[in-house]
Amino acid sequence: MDILAHTMEKKIPFAVQINLTRRCNLRCIHCCVEKRDGERRIGKTPDHELNLEEINRILEQLAEAGCLVLTLSGGEVLLREDLIDIIRYARTLDFAVKVFTNGTLLGTKEIDAFQKLHLQEVHVSLYAANAKIHDGITGVPGSWEKTVKNIRQMREKGISVKIKCPVMRQNIKEYRKVYDLATDLGAGCAFDPVITMRDDGNKDTLNYRIAQEDLQMVLQDPVFYGGEKGERPENISCLITEIYDDVLCSAGHNICYISPEGEVNPCVQLPINSGNLRDHDFNWIWHNSPDMLNIRQMRMKNVHGCKNCDYLSWCARCPGLAYLEDGDLLGHSSAACWLAKAKGNKTLIGG
Amino acid sequence: MIDNKYINRNEKTASRIIDGQAVIMTLEDNTLHTLNEIGSMIWELSDGVRSIEDMAAIIHDEHKMVDYEKIRTDCQAFVKELLSKGMLILQDNRTEEKD
Ligand code: SF4
Ligand code: SF4
Stretch 35-94 of chain B: residues touching chain A, C-beta under 8 Å: none
Q: Are A34 and A22 in contact (CB under 8 A)?
A: yes
- The pLDDT confidence band at residue A272, using thresholds 50, 70 and 90, is very high
CA nearest neighbour of A56 among A21, A93, A96: A93
Query: Is A5 within 8 Å of chain B by CB?
Result: no
Pairing type for strands A255-258 and A264-265 reads antiparallel
- Cα of A89 from ligand 2 centre, angstroms: 43
Give the lowest-confidence range in A6-20, A195-209, A240-254. A240-254
pLDDT in tens, B4-26: 899 999 999 999 999 999 999 99
Mean pLDDT of A308-318: 87
Q: Please judge whether B18 and A94 are an interchain contact, meaning their C-beta atoms are less than 8 angstroms apart.
A: no
Ligand nearest to the CA of A315: 2
The SS3 call for residue A270 is strand
Closest CB from A66, A94, A96 relative to B18 = A66
The pLDDT-based confidence of B1 (bands split at 50, 70, 90) is confident
- With cut-offs at 50, 70 and 90, classify the pLDDT of residue A235: very low
Q: Give pLDDT tens digits for A282-291.
A: 999 999 999 9
Burial class, A241, CB count within 10 angstroms (exposed 0-12 / middle 13-18 / buried 19+): exposed
pLDDT digits (tens, 9 = 90+) for A12-31: 999 999 999 999 999 999 98
Three-point CA angle A33, A48, A326, nearest 5°: 35
Residue A199: its pLDDT value, please? 78
For residues A178 and A102, what is the distance between their CA atoms, to the nearest angstrom? 15
Q: Give the number of other Cβ atoms within 10 Å of residue A240's Cβ.
A: 10
A68 contact residues in B (CB cutoff 8 A): 14-16, 18, 23, 25
How far apart are alpha carbons A216 and A238 in whole angstroms?
A: 22
Contact yes or no for A300/A248 (Cβ under 8 A)? yes
Which percentage of chain A shows pLDDT scores above 90?
A: 72
Instruction: Over range A4-19, report the average pLDDT.
Output: 95
For A93-102, A215-224, B87-96, which range has the lowest pLDDT when averaged over its residues? A215-224
The per-residue pLDDT for A203 is 87
| Residue A152 CB neighbour total at 10 angstroms | 14
Which residues in chain A have their CB less than 8 angstroms from residue B34's CB? 1, 3
CATH for the B6-87 domain, from 2.120.10.30, 3.40.1190.20, 1.10.4190.10, 3.90.930.60: 3.90.930.60
**pLDDT confidence tier of residue B64, bands split at 50, 70 and 90:** confident
Q: What is the pLDDT of residue A227?
A: 62
- Work out the percent of chain A whose per-residue pLDDT is above 70: 90
Residue pair A173/A200 in contact (Cβ under 8 Å)? The answer is: no
**Nearest-angstrom CA–CA distance, A226 and A176:** 10
Whether residues A63 and B21 touch (CB distance < 8 A) is answered with: no
Cα dist from A48 to A21, A82, A120, B40, whole Å? 9, 15, 29, 41
Q: What is the pLDDT of residue A295?
A: 95
Q: Give the residue-averaged pLDDT of B66-90.
A: 95
B10/A contact by beta carbon, under 8 A = no
Q: Residue ranges of the domains in chain B? A: 6-87
Q: Which ligand is nearest to the CA of A340?
A: 2
What is the number of residues in chain B?
A: 99
Burial of A230 (0-12, 13-18, 19+ CB in 10 A): exposed
State pLDDT tens for residues A214-234: 998 888 888 888 765 445 444
B29-44 pLDDT, tens digit each: 999 999 998 899 999 9
Contact B30 A7 (CB under 8 A): no
Better pLDDT: A239 or A111? A111
Checking if the pLDDT of A165 tops 90, the result is yes
User: Is the minimum distance from the CB of A324 to ligand 1 under 6 angstroms?
Assistant: no
Q: Which of A73, A247, A270 to mutate to test the pocket of ligand 1 (most atoms within 8 A of CB)?
A: A270
Determine how β-strand A255-258 pairs with β-strand B21-26.
unpaired
> Would an 8 Å CB–CB cutoff place A349 in contact with chain B?
no
- Answer yes or no: is the C-beta of A332 below 6 A from any ligand 2 atom: yes
Sheet with strand A161-166: strands edge to edge = A188-192, A161-166, A121-125, A96-101, A69-73, A15-19, A255-258, A264-265
What average pLDDT is seen over chain A?
90
Which of B15, B18, B27 minimises the CB distance to A120?
B27
Question: What pLDDT score does A343 carry?
Answer: 84
- For ligand 1, what atom is nearest to the CA of residue A251? 5
Instruction: State the alpha helices, DSSP H only, in chain A.
Output: 3-10, 52-65, 83-92, 108-116, 131-138, 143-156, 175-185, 212-218, 234-242, 282-288, 290-297, 319-326, 334-350
Q: What is the DSSP letter of A251?
A: B
